[in-house]
Structures are given as structure tokens and as C-alpha cells.
């Protein structure tokens, strides 16, 4: 049941992100081109599992996305807002599919599996 709630929360974040991306008049082609960009953070796994989990987790959490969105609002930079919303949508989408923050001992071991 807890996994289902986590997936539904991710879906809510994804849907809200799509709504807010519309409000900031984002380009949907850009959205589609960049929605998977946060996965580049997996590059740390080429070094080792610990570095990989750190780089992945820095990007794949709600806090970082909200930080970017907030920075965009404070600086009145619509592009930064849009990029933060795309990142937020990506994290929400990941949660819907059951992907979570990574533990340093294995790429496949996530916080959602512990729920």
C-alpha cells in the first residue's frame, strides 16, 4: 500500500508539473527533448557505485527541482523556472515507475524498495 501511495504522489507531482509548465508557457517540444536529461546524472556510475548514487540522488529529488524553480522565480528567469519544472516532472515520472533514490551499494536498490 505504501508503494502505491508513493507512486500516486509521483503521479500528482507529474500532473502538477505539466500544469505549471503550461502556466509558464513552456515549449512542449523542449519539454519532450529535456524530460530525460536528468538521467545524465547516472554518469557517476562510471566511476563507482558510491559516486553514482550521489550524482543520481542530487538530481533525482524534489528538493533540487524546487530549489531550481525558486531560483528562477527569485531571479525572474522563466527559462530556469521551466528547467526546474521539467526536472520536477522527471522525478515525479520516476516515482510513478517505481524508481527512487539510490543506495550506494547497488544501482537497483532504491528507497522505494524499502517501503
One digit per residue, the tens of pLDDT, for the chain of length 115 reads 888 999 999 999 999 999 999 999 999 999 999 999 999 999 999 999 999 999 999 999 999 999 999 999 999 999 999 999 999 999 999 999 989 899 998 878 888 776 5
The pLDDT, as a whole number, for residue 111 is 83
Cα–Cα dist 99/93, whole Å: 9
Its pTM stands at 0.92
Tell me how long the chain is: 115
Residue among 56, 53, 57, 59 nearest 84 (CA):
59
Whose grid coordinates read 529535456?
34
The pLDDT, as a whole number, for residue 115 is 59
Whose grid coordinates read 530549489?
67
In sequence order, what E strands does 64-105 have? 102-103
Q: Where are the domains of the chain?
A: 2-110
The pLDDT, as a whole number, for residue 114 is 64
Amino acid at each position: 500500500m505504501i508503494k502505491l501511495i508513493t507512486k500516486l504522489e509521483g503521479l500528482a507531482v507529474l500532473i502538477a508539473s505539466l500544469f505549471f509548465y503550461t502556466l509558464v508557457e513552456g515549449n512542449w517540444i523542449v519539454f519532450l527533448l529535456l524530460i530525460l536529461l536528468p538521467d545524465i546524472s547516472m554518469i557517476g556510475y562510471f566511476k563507482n557505485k558510491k559516486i553514482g548514487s550521489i550524482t543520481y540522488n542530487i538530481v533525482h529529488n524534489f528538493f533540487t527541482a524546487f530549489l531550481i524553480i525558486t531560483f528562477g522565480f527569485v531571479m525572474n528567469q522563466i527559462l530556469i523556472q521551466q528547467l526546474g519544472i521539467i526536472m520536477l516532472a522527471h522525478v515525479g515520472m520516476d516515482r510513478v515507475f517505481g524508481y527512487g533514490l539510490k543506495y550506494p551499494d547497488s544501482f537497483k536498490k532504491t528507497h522505494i524498495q524499502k517501503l
